[in-house]
Amino acid sequence: MLGVLAGFFVVWTIILVGWFVGHRRILGDNARQVLSSLTFFVASPALLFETLSNAELEQVFAAPLLVTAVAALASALLFFGIVKFWLRRALPESLVSTMGASLANSANLGIPIAVYVLGDASYVAPLLIFQLAFFTPLFLMILDASTSAHRTTPLRFVLMILKNPMIVGSALGLVVAGTGITIPELVMEPIHLIGGAAIPAMLIAFKMSLSGSRPLQKTEGRRVDTLLASTFKLGIQPAIAYLFAHFVLGFEDQALFAVVVTSALPTAQNVFVAASRYNTGIAVAKDTVLITTVVAVPAMIGVALLLT
């Protein structure tokens, strides 16, 4: 338990550094965008490549991936039914809200939590692969089909997946792990150094992205949707993961803790990007990202207290 709390302490310390840097504007006006681009396009793919090249493939593609998929799909379908048929929102808005209720911040917060709290970045790999290669593209494809402003061809759909640098880094790492290729130390050392920049840059940019936002404005009229989406993301989804992993698959101890914690990660920030692109569900997307991000770490500490 002390190790888990120590991991959260490290994460929060770097987040506080991000607050200080952002508050004092030490890195300038475009710092968050630059740091986010650095982690997304360069550092995170390097970290994932190094981590997964040394991973056991059965840890990535076996039961943990199944738990991730079941928890995400089950919570998404349940939430979609509520907002579409009970709250009677339009289909595109319902889809964006469902993204907020089920898509996790698997990179900016997921990787640091996996490293410092779970002890191994490979614990977040099933979530990353599921979301980047299937879940997020599925949502975007349905959104394209339900709006007239954007259309995605099958070729663009495939390219959208293959051009994602985290998918590329993960895929190359899995190829190395699966084939047993030995990468020379001279090649791995710069990859290791670049990957080392990912976590601090992620967490600093993560805190800077929260500045100046005020959720649950009455004028936006979507308080119920936002609170419901936040509850699903931080409560219902990890609960489903726990029930399925423990009672169906027989997970115990660290394996159980890992799948529940990764399911309790906050809403992915790219949900707001999707909402902006399709010009629907913007208030719910923005507020859900903010609320779940603020509450997520305390919620995961609660999970740790219950399961460790």
- Give helix then strand counts, H and E, for the chain: 18, 0
CATH number assigned to the domain with residue range 2-307, chosen from the 4 options 3.40.50.300, 1.20.1530.20, 3.40.50.720, 3.50.50.60: 1.20.1530.20
Report pLDDT for 152: 61
Identify any residues that bridge with 267 across adjacent strands, giving them in sequence order.
Answer: 104
Backbone angles phi, psi at 267, to 5 degrees: -65, 140
Q: Domain boundaries in the chain?
A: 2-307
> How far are the Cα atoms of 7, 16, 110, 117, 120 from residue 12, in angstroms, in the given order?
9, 6, 13, 11, 18
- Find, among 19, 17, 69, the residue nearest to 259 by Cα: 69
Report pLDDT for 237: 96
Q: Specify the length of the chain in residues.
A: 308
Backbone angles phi, psi at 163, to 5 degrees: -85, -5
121: DSSP letter:
G
- Find, among 284, 265, 225, 202, the residue nearest to 38 by Cα: 202
Q: For each successive 10 residues of the chain (308 residues), what is the average pLDDT?
A: 61 76 77 77 83 72 88 96 92 92 82 80 82 77 70 67 74 84 89 85 70 62 88 95 94 90 86 76 84 82 77
Report pLDDT for 308: 66
Q: Is the dihedral of CA 48, 52, 54, 55 positive or negative?
A: positive
